[in-house]
Structures are given as structure tokens and as C-alpha cells.
């Protein structure tokens, strides 16, 4: 089968957790949630950071690199907050790990987004150009003007957490490149892997026929819960390659 030349695929990772000792981590464990860390993993204080290191090493070997989207808020207990405080010791170590990587904001709805964008720039010392809303929850009319005013060039907030999906949208009169997140690794927690790959191929073909760029989202913490997700990530990279997609960022 001849694949037409695709667009670009952005490899991205959202950082939702950094501390296995966050109180909600114990709540999740106590609820015997099957999709959570084991107690042995929970006892390893730096387990998330080490997983991010492994992910970076894996990508290096696979000949790709990625964008990490981080929070920048001090809030970590609200319903929609990320489960870490920006500026904590683990957060500072994360910034060191990511010093040569592209980074962007993973925003929450609990704090004005202008503040989160400004704080992330201060923490990383780099301009913030990429963005994704936590849980894909956002209000287009409110979000795009703020992103544009703060120099964000690319937004990945269009997508679904549990299902492979491709919906073409734009930012209207705003100068934001809206890149849909076609697949999140969470899809593998809800569907048979064969179905997920099938749906991904189909959506990738649709995106390619429209010459549209897409984003792929993998969470470091999910790979701790389900180690097969690293293999699945590799498979997704190979499928993109076979469809002549170019990877962003470039090495
Ligand atoms: Zn998130």
C-alpha cells in the first residue's frame, strides 16, 4: 500500500505526577485501583524521575526526541490539579533532566493560565511555546487569545484521553497551530491493543490525507503501571515512520 507523505508528528509527554508519596497516591493504592503503582514502587521516592530518565534513554536509542509538558502551579490537591508543586526538589531535578529538551505548559483550570505560562518561563528559563490542557478540558474562546498573547505557537489540547480520535480544528482568528492529540497511552487501559493500533492507523491515514500534523501523548507514570506501554510507544513510532511522518522535535 502506498502511503502519501504525511505531515509531522509531535511526540509529547504530560507530567501529571512526580511524587509517589503524594497523599492521593496512597488513596489510589488503598482503593486497590488496578491501574496504579505497587507498594514496592510507591516506596521508591524518585521512581517517576528515574522512569523519565529511562524514557529519554529509550528515545535516544530510537532516534527521536520529544516535548515534555509540565505544570507550574503550587497547587496539587484540587480535583483538577497536577499532583506536584512546581519548585519542589523533584521538580528542580526534573528541570535538570529536561534541560536539553523542548518543554511546554501542562495547564490546569484552577489557576489563571497567564500565571502558569509566566511561572513556567521563570522556572525553565526558556520561552514557552507548547501547551496542553490537563484532561483535554478547556474553553476554546477563552484559551486561544491567552495562548496567543503569551507567545504560544502550538496547542495540543484537542483530543480524548481514552479513545483514539482525530478531529480537525483550527484556532479561528488566532495564530495558534492547533495540533490534535490523536492517541494517548490511556487508550490501552480501556481497549484491546489490536483495536487501538487499528484505530491509530486509520486516523493517521485520515490525518495524512488532509496533510495535518498530529500529536502522540505518552505519560511516564503509565509506563510504570503497565510496562508494555513502552513497547506500544515504540510500535506507534514505527507506524508513524512507515507512513512517512516526520518527527517533531527534530534531533
Ligand atoms: Zn494531565
**162 Cα: distance to centroid of ligand 1 (angstroms):** 12
Q: What is the pLDDT along the chain (251 residues), one digit of tens a residue?
A: 445 556 899 999 999 999 999 999 999 898 876 789 999 999 999 999 999 999 999 999 999 999 999 999 999 999 889 999 999 999 999 999 999 999 999 999 989 999 999 999 999 999 999 999 999 999 999 999 999 999 999 999 999 999 999 988 888 999 999 999 999 999 999 999 999 999 999 999 999 988 899 999 999 999 999 999 999 999 999 999 999 899 999 87
Q: Residue 113: how many CA atoms within 13 Å on its side-chain side?
A: 26
Calpha distance 154→246 (Å, rounded): 16
Architecture of the domain defined by 8-248: Alpha-Beta Barrel (3.20)
**6 Cα: distance to centroid of ligand 1 (angstroms):** 27
Instruction: Tell me the whole-structure pTM to 2 decimals.
Output: 0.95
**229 Cα: distance to centroid of ligand 1 (angstroms):** 17
**5 Cα: distance to centroid of ligand 1 (angstroms):** 31
**106 Cα: distance to centroid of ligand 1 (angstroms):** 7
28 CB neighbour count, 10 Å cutoff: 17
Domain parsing of the chain, residue ranges: 8-248
**92 Cα: distance to centroid of ligand 1 (angstroms):** 19
**223 Cα: distance to centroid of ligand 1 (angstroms):** 15
Written as one string, the DSSP assignment of 134-165 is GGG---HHHHHHHHHHTT--EE---B-SSS--
CB 206 within 8 A of CB 242: no
Amino acid at each position: 500500500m502506498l502511503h502519501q507523505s504525511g505531515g509531522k508528528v509531535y511526540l509529547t509527554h504530560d507530567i501529571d505526577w512526580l511524587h509517589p508519596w503524594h497523599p492521593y497516591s496512597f488513596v489510589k493504592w488503598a482503593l486497590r485501583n488496578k491501574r496504579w503503582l505497587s507498594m514496592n514502587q510507591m516506596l521508591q521516592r524518585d521512581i517517576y524521575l528515574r522512569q523519565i530518565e529511562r524514557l529519554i534513554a529509550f528515545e535516544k536509542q530510537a532516534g527521536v526526541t520529544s516535548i515534555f509538558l509540565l505544570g507550574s502551579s503550587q497547587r496539587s490537591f484540587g480535583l483538577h490539579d497536577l499532583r506536584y508543586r512546581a519548585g519542589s526538589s523533584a521538580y528542580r531535578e526534573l528541570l535538570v533532566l529536561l534541560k536539553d529538551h523542548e518543554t511546554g505548559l501542562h495547564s490546569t483550570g484552577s489557576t489563571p493560565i497567564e500565571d502558569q505560562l509566566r511561572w513556567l518561563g521563570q522556572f525553565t528559563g526558556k520561552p514557552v511555546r507548547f501547551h496542553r490542557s490537563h484532561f483535554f478540558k478547556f474553553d476554546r474562546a477563552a484559551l486561544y487569545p491567552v495562548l496567543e498573547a503569551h507567545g504560544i505557537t502550538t496547542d495540543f489540547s484537542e483530543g480524548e484521553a481514552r479513545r483514539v480520535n482525530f478531529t480537525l480544528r483550527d484556532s479561528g482568528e488566532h495564530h495558534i497551530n492547533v495540533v490534535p492529540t490523536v492517541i494517548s497511552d490511556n487508550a490501552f487501559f480501556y481497549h484491546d491493543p489490536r483495536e487501538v493500533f487499528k484505530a491509530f492507523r486509520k486516523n493517521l491515514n485520515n490525518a495524512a490525507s488532509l496533510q495535518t500534523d498530529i500529536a502522540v501523548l505518552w505519560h511516564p507514570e503509565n509506563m510504570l503501571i503497565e510496562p508494555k506501554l513502552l513497547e506500544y510507544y515504540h510500535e506507534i513510532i514505527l507506524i508513524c515512520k512507515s507512513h512517512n511522518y516526520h518527527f517533531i522535535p527534530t534531533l
